Structures are given as C-alpha cells and as structure tokens.
Amino acid sequence: MTTTQMERPRQNLAPLLVPLLAGGLVALALGVYGKIHTPTGYAVGVAGFSAALPMKAWLTTGAFALAFVQVGSALVMYGRLPVTAPPWIGTLHRWSGRLAFVLTIPVAFHCLYALGLQYDVPRVLIHSVVGCFFYGVFTAKMLALPKRGLPGWTLPVLGGLAFTALVVLWLTSSLWFFTTIGVRF
C-alpha cells in the first residue's frame, strides 16, 4: 500500500443502508402497484388544463426547470462555481426542491392511477421505470439528508441521480407531448 492509501480513512457506508433500502422499496412498491392496479383510464383533477396530458406536460416542465435551479444552487453551495454563495442560496435550494417535488405529485398520481405501469411501447416503458426510480432515489436522498457521517459524495450522487431521472422523465413525456401533440394548456 502507498502512503496515500494508508492515510485515507475508511468510509462508513452503514448509515446509507437504510435510506437506500427504503428508496429501493419505494421504487419497487410503485412499480408493483402500477403493474397490478387496474388503470381507470381517466384523469382526476386537471385543474385549469384542458386535459390530463397537457397538465402532466406542463407540471413536469415546471419540475424540470426547477431541477436546473437545484443543480445550480447546489454547485454554488458546495463552492463548485466561481461565485460567492449568497446567504439565501440554501433557502432557494430547499424551496426549489420542494416545489419541484410537489409539481410531480399530480403527474405521478395520474400516471399510476389512470394509466398504470405500461411496457408495450419502449418510450412509455422507460418513462414508467424511471418514474418509479425517481421516487425511490428521492426517498433515499431525503432520508440521507439528516444523517451524519455519510461519505461526502452521497448527496451529490443521489441528487445527480434524481436530476438525471427527472430529465429522462421530461424527455419521455413533456418533450414527446410538445413535439408530437403540440403546445397546449
């Protein structure tokens, strides 16, 4: 072993076990529910939108935009951008994340309740699986936040996975809707 390897402290991954297990269970439960639940085929509460698909497209677009706020504010908070972090950056990060999550709830509810897990079209299969993964990784991140002693890469990796999942969800739903159906409200 080199001196550098001997000096590096061993990372304790045990505190990460519960958040990752809970996140995996959330993703699995959503997938199982989506598969065994008989889809209703109709939307519930599209409040202000002409139909469910425009509602889903626009709410997902809002969450997608806020995901970029999340990444930017995280980069500023962790000193990865050459700017001084303003005192409100943590508040911006927390509230943009909360709002992004809230925007996804009616979308996920409609997807699971009205449509269920679908696997006959590749785009829809990817969307369904990544949607379950998003809520699983989000759960893991939220449960990991208050834990002390986690490796420094934990939150950036979980946040990056949540961001990536949200981008894939937007690409397989909202972008598809806007380019196939058109821009509607």
116-157 pLDDT, tens per residue? 888 888 998 999 999 999 999 999 999 998 888 888 889 999
Lowest mean pLDDT among 25-29, 30-34, 161-165: 30-34
As a whole number of angstroms, the distance between CA 114 and CA 119 comes to 15
CA angle 176, 140, 120 (to 5 degrees): 35
Beta strands in 32-90 (DSSP E): none
pTM of the predicted model as reported, rounded to 2 decimal places: 0.86
User: In this model, does residue 4 exceed pLDDT 70?
Assistant: no
pLDDT (0 to 100) of residue 10: 65
Predicted local distance difference test score (pLDDT) of residue 42: 77
Q: Quickly list H helices, the chain.
A: 3-7, 14-36, 52-77, 89-110, 122-144, 154-172, 174-180
Q: How many residues are present in the chain?
A: 185
Which of 20-29, 92-101, 117-126, 168-177 comes out lowest in average pLDDT?
117-126
Write out pLDDT tens, residues 76-100: 998 888 888 899 999 999 999 999 9
Cβ atoms of 11 and 20 closer than 8 Å: no
Reduced to 3 states (helix: H, G, I; strand: E, B; else coil), residue 8 is: coil
Average pLDDT value for residue range 49-70: 91
Residue 3 has pLDDT above 70, yes or no: no
Average pLDDT, the chain: 88
